[in-house]
Amino acid sequence: MPNAALLVVDVQNDFCPGGTLAVPRGDSIVPGLNRVISAFTGARLPIFFTRDWHPANHCSFKAQGGIWPPHCVQGTYGAEIHGGVQRPSGSVLINKGDDPGKEAYSGFQGTDLADRLRKLGVKEVFIGGLTIEYCVRTTAEDALRGGFAVHVILDCVKGLEIHTGDSAAAVDEMVRAGASTMTGADVAELFGAQQ
């Protein structure tokens, strides 16, 4: 599958245990993600990391009338990619949500991610990361709207689960929109990684 890319969405310290907007056991997806990252690296396929990169006065924060506590503020520890995640030297980091007046859950919103993928000839994307109900779901849906085939790696995503069933509902929405689902083991096998 030479036309594939991996999108690792927002696996940042603030979304992991101890962070200001922590996903319960959000860091539990890191080992599985690393296995997939290793498979893509071995297959010499592109890997993109997205991250929230919010100014301190971002519109999504409660102090500005938004719904979230301050998180992933530019230049802070909370905005950094989780230290356990393997980031290959050739991978690309995409900042999003850096306009104080605009929300940006999707890795495609206000970024050049789609252009970068198209320039590389990418036709399909494999997605893992945080959180499944917000940034993962909107990234997947924008990828589908952009004409990419989308595969969501189910054991490499996790949700806030503010309401019971939110994560499952997000998966259903993505599948209805045209995404397929896989496991990390499926992806690793697909790209010939050692089991």
Q: Choosing from 16, 72, 135, 156, which is the catalytic residue?
A: 135
Structural contact between residues 6 and 37, judged by C-beta atoms closer than 8 angstroms:
yes
How do strand 124-130 and strand 149-158 relate by DSSP bridges? parallel
Q: Choosing from 52, 96, 142, 158, which is the catalytic residue?
A: 96
- Outline where the chain has alpha helix (H): 30-42, 113-119, 137-145, 166-177, 184-190
Structural contact between residues 78 and 14, judged by C-beta atoms closer than 8 angstroms:
yes
Largest separation between any pair of C-alpha atoms in the chain: 49
The answer to whether 156 is a known catalytic residue is no
Q: Choosing from 10, 14, 52, 142, which is the catalytic residue?
A: 10
Query: 152 has which bridge partners?
Result: 127, 181
C-alpha 139: how far from its chain's center? Answer: 7
The answer to whether 62 is a known catalytic residue is no
Amino acid code (one letter) for 166 = D
| Residue 11 three-state SS | coil
Structural contact between residues 13 and 23, judged by C-beta atoms closer than 8 angstroms:
no
Residues known to be catalytic: 10, 96, 135
